[in-house]
Amino acid sequence: MFDLDRWNEIFETIRKNKLRTFLTGLSVASGIFILVVLLGIGEGMRNGIAREFEQDASNLIFVWPGVTSKEYKGLNPGRRIQMKNEDYNQLLLLFGDRIDKTAGTFQNWGMVLTYGKENGSYDVRGSFPAYQELENISLTSGRFIDLNDLKNSEKTMVIGHRVKLDLFKDEDPIGKMVQVSGVNFKVVGVYTDPGGEREESRVVIPITTAQKAFGGGTNVDRLYITLKPEDSFDASVAASTQFSKELDEFLKSRHTIAPDDNSAIHINNTLENAKRFFTLMDMIRLFFWGVGICTIIAGVVGVSNIMLIIVKERTREIGIRKALGAQPLSIIAMILHESIFVTAIAGFLGLIFSLALLEFVGPLIETQYIYNPTVNFTVAINTVVILVLAGAIAGFFPAWRAARIKPIIALRDE
């Protein structure tokens, strides 16, 4: 391998046969390039979807009522279901041992908030302290609403980052008073949400205050629940699915809804969705691998083809060399050495280009479903090695045949 003379021979051959070398290299480099980019995009899609699920607690079960669609026990369809505080309390009583965190919300859309001369229209959500974890929001300053606020129906408010920017500009909002429909609330905290601007243009107040101040009675609009974690992802999914089912039955019986009426109670089980998405993602990844491997196979076939042509083209030269005393092994070594050298260099070039593309263009991709496309470097290196080996094996047989051609026949080849 480190025979300087053979390296010289190879460099000379490559220099004198630029097109041939270029074509071999191109098929290898493009194969690697396509594979790495595909794997990168696959990984990016996975990251993108994983990020989507980061917005809320990843094992969140989310309940919102709708309108009945079936007649049941003498009640007409088209009845709007409204949950009450009592539903929430019963829920705690019945399922308390399984529940990790829970919160109900009473929400009012499009309330006008006024601070000094600034005003704007935002969603106002009455909720519980646990809402913070359930919505996966974090505070940038101040505190979240606490149990005291809830117990005393304090007029305290936590505002989203967008709301802070709109109403307060650069001012520190903590301790300032904001008016909502003529009621003054004291800002106690500012939050940020990975879900983005839409989720940051809301304010959160104690549910007790919301129900009193905005005529909610004991109404609860939504329920947020997380369960105590299980040992494995699959066990968590199973527990969560089971819980959703029981919760559905519980709410339907409380509100006299037909058990098969799917429009009256909506239960969104994030974990179940996540599992579905991750299964889908695994399929997509598998598909990308499939495509990538096919690309590699195409690359190997391309390399073999070119090797065949090279050997064919060099038959006469091989005959001359043999007549001058080249041994069969030296012919095989010469051809293989060249092909391995070319495929290796081209493979690494393809790898470098594709990694550079992922590195520099990847972060610029601004779609929701592709995020931070990267590729496992070991995997990439392995593919290059596999391609080089495959190219060598593919090149070996024509080389072997060439080495066995009788020089007299090779010399006759015009």
Q: Would you tell me which residues interact with other proteins (CB under 8 A)?
A: 4-5, 8-9, 12-13, 16-17, 316-317, 319-330, 403-404, 406-408, 411
Q: How far is the CB of 306 from other proteins (least distance, A)?
A: 17
Q: How far is the CB of 49 from other proteins (least distance, A)?
A: 54
Q: How far is the CB of 315 from other proteins (least distance, A)?
A: 12
326 versus 352: smaller Cβ distance to other proteins: 326
What's the CA gap between 244 and 251, in Å, rounded? 11
What's the CA gap between 12 and 384, in Å, rounded? 25
* Other beta carbons within 10 Å of 36: 26
Q: How far is the CB of 320 from other proteins (least distance, A)?
A: 5
Q: How far is the CB of 411 from other proteins (least distance, A)?
A: 6
4 versus 364: smaller Cβ distance to other proteins: 4
Helix axes 377-404 and 328-360, enclosed angle (nearest 10): 160
Alpha-carbon 322 to chain mean position:
59
Question: Tokens for 292?
Answer: 């990538």
8 versus 242: smaller Cβ distance to other proteins: 8
- Closest C-alpha among 382, 379, 375, 383 to residue 357: 375
4 versus 93: smaller Cβ distance to other proteins: 4
93 versus 329: smaller Cβ distance to other proteins: 329
1 versus 4: smaller Cβ distance to other proteins: 4
162 versus 321: smaller Cβ distance to other proteins: 321
* Other beta carbons within 10 Å of 175: 9
- Closest C-alpha among 324, 321, 344, 346 to residue 334: 321
Q: How far is the CB of 9 from other proteins (least distance, A)?
A: 8
- What is the torsional sign of CA 65, 69, 70, 71? positive
Q: How far is the CB of 15 from other proteins (least distance, A)?
A: 8
Q: How does DSSP classify residue 3? A: -
Q: Which residues partner with 156 through β-bridges?
A: 186
Beta strands in 161-217 (DSSP E): 177-180, 183-192, 202-206
What's the CA gap between 268 and 258, in Å, rounded? 19
DSSP assignment of 320-384: HHHHTT--HHHHHHHHHHHHHHHHHHHHHHHHHHHHHHHHHTGGG---TT--S----HHHHHHHH
Q: How far is the CB of 303 from other proteins (least distance, A)?
A: 21
Q: How far is the CB of 24 from other proteins (least distance, A)?
A: 16
Question: Tokens for 245?
Answer: 């089912």
22 versus 348: smaller Cβ distance to other proteins: 22
Q: How does DSSP classify residue 405? A: S
66 versus 328: smaller Cβ distance to other proteins: 328
Residue type, 26: L
152 versus 327: smaller Cβ distance to other proteins: 327
- The three-point CA angle 51-56-62 to 5° equals 135
Strands 202-206 and 156-160: antiparallel
Q: How far is the CB of 335 from other proteins (least distance, A)?
A: 15
